[in-house]
Amino acid sequence: MKKVSLIVILSLGIITAFAQTSQELSILELSKRKFDWLLNKQYDSLVKVLDDKVQYIHSNGWIQSKDEVVNDLKSGKLVYQKVEVKDSKVRLYSNSAIVTGLGRFEGVTNGTAFAMDLRYTEVYVKSGNLWKLASRHANKMP
């Protein structure tokens, strides 16, 4: 009986570990899709993943709300032309996830081209069954 109990407990632990890994992978995939939507100007898809109270902190110091980010993207004030994620990791908590990454970002802002390596942090919160981006912060790499 002890062997059966031990096997059941170990099996549950393995199942839980795979479930966490699967959820972590889905959050990393969501982060990647978000970049794809930026590049392909699929702003209707992007809006769905942004929390209504999202705080978007750019590497130049801009702090923007959801509406401000979306308006700048739609107007062409901010255009992403290339996003190359070089490293991305996720830490998962009960109803939140923190993605940290390093990437190469290229585009145009206010008519001026930019190309820079950024270290970024994204905080996702679970709203019902959906993950929403609640905060994003980026720093330029030297």
Please, which residues have CB within 8 angstroms of residue 41's CB and are 6 or more apart in sequence?
Answer: 73
The whole-model pTM stands at 0.83
Structure tokens at 54: 């999202």
Q: What are phi and psi of 93, to 5 degrees?
A: -120, 180
pLDDT > 90? residue 79:
yes
Tell me, what's the pLDDT at 21?
81
Tell me, what's the pLDDT at 47?
98
Q: How far is the CA of 22 from the CAs of 18, 28, 73, in angstroms?
A: 6, 10, 31
Q: Region 80-86: what's the mean pLDDT?
A: 98
3-state secondary structure 36-47: HHHHCCCHHHHH
Q: How far is the CA of 24 from the CAs of 43, 90, 94, 131, 142, in angstroms?
A: 24, 6, 12, 11, 29
CA distance 51 to 60: 22
Predicted confidence (pLDDT) per residue in 21-73, tens digit: 899 999 999 999 999 999 999 999 999 999 999 999 999 999 999 999 999 99
Q: Give the pairing of strands 78-92 and 96-109.
A: antiparallel
Predicted confidence (pLDDT) per residue in 94-121, tens digit: 999 999 999 999 999 999 999 999 999 9
Structure tokens at 21: 């890994």
* 46 and 52 Cβ atoms separated by less than 8 Å: no
Residue corresponding to tokens 């059941």? 8
pLDDT band, very low/low/confident/very high, at 76 (cuts 50, 70, 90): very high
Note the CATH number of domain 2-140: 3.10.450.50
- 10 Å Cβ neighbour count for 122? 23
Chain-centroid distance, C-alpha 68: 18
Which residues partner with 140 through β-bridges? 118
